[in-house]
């Protein structure tokens, strides 16, 4: 196959041939990227909003869309979708947010990657999670693309239990999201496992979920905890 990139000048290394006697051009011509089954890449966006002059973690809302197609049809999800072939991750996050909610031109930060094997029935999907914060009065939300609806959800997150076991600490959170205009309340239980030390591990996992798609409740809680630490 031809090279994926038009300009390969920065990939010559020392310029020598490989064990097969191939130059970089010959190697790329023979290389088949479809020889192996590869994961798909997506992005998901956690967009928080606030009213007033500055954000307050006790009064944040999160923007969700109602899925109108499988999987998780009718459930509420974060705006997101598949990365196109010649698209950077942050460009995908911005495009999908605009296509599904009409919101555009926001600064954003990548804060996590989720890639458990069982997170999507369509394929092995690894998602890059982004977050942003906006004053609710500065944006207008409208559902589009594969979103049946798009709504701001008031976010409530409380700690239900904390347990320590050696190096590991386990915290259970109860996430509740509500939209008073539509009398809608959805919820989830999310587990956070963390190990401190020079090398730190932190994992968020959905234990129970009521109409929140995939592992998106875990992404929301992780992003909310990040906001909480910065606004403290």
pLDDT tens string 152-191: 999 999 999 999 998 999 999 999 999 999 999 999 999 9
Among residues 158, 93, 160, the alpha carbon closest in space to that of 127 is found at 93
Torsion-angle region of 91 (φ positive above 0: left; ψ -120 to 50: alpha; else: beta): alpha
% of the chain exceeding 90 in pLDDT: 91
Q: Is the pTM of this model over 0.85?
A: yes
* Span 56-68, average pLDDT: 95
Take residue 104 and report the two structure tokens written for it.
Answer: 């555009």
Residue 204 near residue 221, CB atoms below 8 Å: yes
* Better pLDDT: 82 or 3: 82
Alpha-carbon dihedral 43, 105, 64, 82, rounded to 10 degrees: -20
Among residues 76, 12, 99, the alpha carbon closest in space to that of 209 is found at 76
% of the chain exceeding 70 in pLDDT: 100
Residue 181: the pLDDT is 94
Residue 146: the pLDDT is 80
Average pLDDT of the chain, as a whole number: 95
pLDDT tens string 63-74: 999 999 999 999
CATH code matching the domain that covers 40-231, chosen among 3.40.50.880, 3.40.50.2300, 3.30.1490.20, 3.90.79.10:
3.90.79.10
CA 175 to chain centre: 17
CA distance 217 to 210: 10
Residue 216 near residue 186, CB atoms below 8 Å: no
Q: Decide if pLDDT at 1 tops 90.
A: no
pLDDT tens string 24-49: 999 999 999 989 899 999 999 999 99
């Amino acid at each position: 196959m031809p090279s994926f990139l038009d300009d390969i000048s920065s990939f010559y290394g020392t310029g020598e041939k490989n064990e097969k006697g191939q130059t970089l051009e010959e190697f790329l011509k023979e290389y088949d990227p479809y020889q192996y089954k590869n994961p798909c890449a997506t992005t998901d966006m956690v967009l928080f909003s606030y009213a007033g002059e500055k954000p307050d973690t006790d009064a944040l809302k999160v923007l969700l869309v109602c899925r109108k197609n499988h999987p998780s049809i009718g459930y509420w999800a974060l705006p997101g979708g598949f990365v196109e072939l010649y698209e950077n991750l942050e460009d995908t996050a911005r495009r999908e947010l605009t296509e599904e909610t009409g919101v555009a031109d926001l600064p954003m930060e990548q804060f996590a990657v989720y890639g458990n094997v069982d997170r999507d029935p369509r394929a092995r999907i690894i998602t890059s999670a982004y977050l942003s914060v906006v004053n609710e009065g500065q944006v207008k939300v409208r559902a589009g693309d594969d979103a049946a609806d798009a709504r701001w959800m008031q976010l409530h997150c409380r700690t239900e239990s904390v347990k320590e076991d050696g190096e590991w600490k386990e915290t259970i959170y109860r996430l509740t999201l509500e939209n008073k205009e539509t009398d809608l309340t959805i919820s989830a239980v999310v587990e956070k496992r963390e190990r401190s030390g020079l090398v730190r591990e932190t994992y968020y996992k959905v234990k129970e979920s009521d109409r929140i798609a995939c592992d998106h409740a875990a992404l929301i809680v992780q992003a909310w905890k990040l906001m909480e630490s910065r606004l403290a």
